Amino acid sequence: MATITLATFNCENLFARYKFDKKVDKEKAFKDGWLANQGHFYQFDKEETRLTAAAVKETKADVVALQEVESNGTLRQFRQKFLNGRQKYKEYLVIDGNDYLRLIDVGILSSFHLENIRSHMHEINKKTNRELFSRDCLECDIILPDKKKLTLFINHFKSMYNPANPCNGRAETHDKRAVQAKRVKEIVEERFPDANGDFAIVGDLNDYIDSESAIRNLVKWNNVENVIDRLPEEERWTQYWEGNKKCGLNETYHQLDYILISKSLAEKNPDTKPSIVRKGLPKKAKRYKGPWLKDIGNKAASDHCPLVMQLII
């Protein structure tokens, strides 16, 4: 019997990159290329990154699935400078995905060995003839003691934000998320044809469950359990959004981040409840009444909260 603490965290722009001049057309630059001397470079925002690292440490997780990481090098630098190098997380991985504008990818920090790594970034949506996944569905096995294994499917679905219509972004981006959710379900079924195995679908699915949800068929699939449902209803939120005054939209608190465990894992862990680390949120998130990370103020770890679950495998 092996025990693992698993977390998922959208760490919000974990970058170590160039920054374009305001006059530069970013989309044109990504399409046509650019010269480095036409950009302005800056280092990590050390304060924000320190807060992000503090939120990761609060999870006490053995494995952290991450969203919004720029690159493998960025994650290596983050681990080295802010997470004590290899002491906790011996392995890490980011594979460049399909977000060509923001260059944000999914990744993983692990105290255990990673095997059978598989990217789905090249899959094509046949209706649009474009990449199906906004970033990737990153598949990997966590190799645990006693020959135990946990398979993860790490995701970051299409955002609900649409710059062309910011007041109705959720509806206009619905179909992309629905296609991604359907394909993730198929990928899991291909790997586990009888759905009998130790796996978890994790990440920022960028939607919440109501009658208009694009991800309902995945989250409510009878072969998985959404672990956050084990908490009281008022506690089932992982993301704070400040709203949009121009659109008349008020602040919201929703679950966008998910750990969907297989039925076999649910049966092995019938009484375990997840935890949500909210200490790194912006102080504008008034619903949260608990303690904050030190130095939370104008800057924060993320607008998302790490979602954490301890599992017996």
What per-residue confidence (pLDDT) applies to 256? 98
Helix ranges (H only) for the chain are 26-32, 46-59, 72-82, 169-172, 174-191, 216-219, 263-268
**Is there a contact between 144 and 193 (Cβ–Cβ < 8 Å)?**
no
Instruction: Please classify residue 216 by burial: count the beta carbons closer than 10 Å to its beta carbon, then call 0-12 exposed, 13-18 middle and 19+ buried.
Output: middle
Q: For the chain, list the strands marked E by DSSP.
A: 3-14, 18-19, 40-41, 63-69, 91-94, 105-110, 113-118, 124-125, 130-131, 137-143, 149-156, 199-204, 224-226, 239-241, 252-254, 257-262, 275-276, 307-312
Instruction: Tell me the two tokens of residue 261.
Output: 């465990």
Q: Please state, in angstroms and rounded to a whole number, the distance separating the CA atoms of residues 176 and 155.
A: 13
Spatial distance between the Cα atoms of 99 and 192, rounded to a whole number of angstroms: 28
* DSSP helix/strand/coil, 104: coil
Q: Which of 288, 312, 310 is nearest to 300 (CA)?
A: 288
- Residue 53 CA to residue 48 CA, distance in Å, equals 9
At 41 the pLDDT is 46
pLDDT at 40: 47
CB neighbour burial string for 1-22, b if at least 16 within 10 angstroms, e if fewer = ebebbbbbbbbbbbbbeeeeee
pLDDT of residue 28: 76
Structure tokens of 100?
């060509």
Model pLDDT, residue 219: 98
DSSP 250: P
In 3-state terms, what secondary structure has residue 275?
A: strand
Split the chain (313 residues) into runs of 10 and give each run's mean pLDDT: 95 74 71 58 70 97 97 93 95 94 94 98 96 98 95 98 91 97 98 94 98 98 98 98 94 98 98 98 95 90 97 97
Phi first, then psi: what are they for 200, rounded to 5°?
-145, 135
> Strand, coil or helix: what is 117?
strand
Q: What is the largest CA-CA distance in the chain?
A: 57
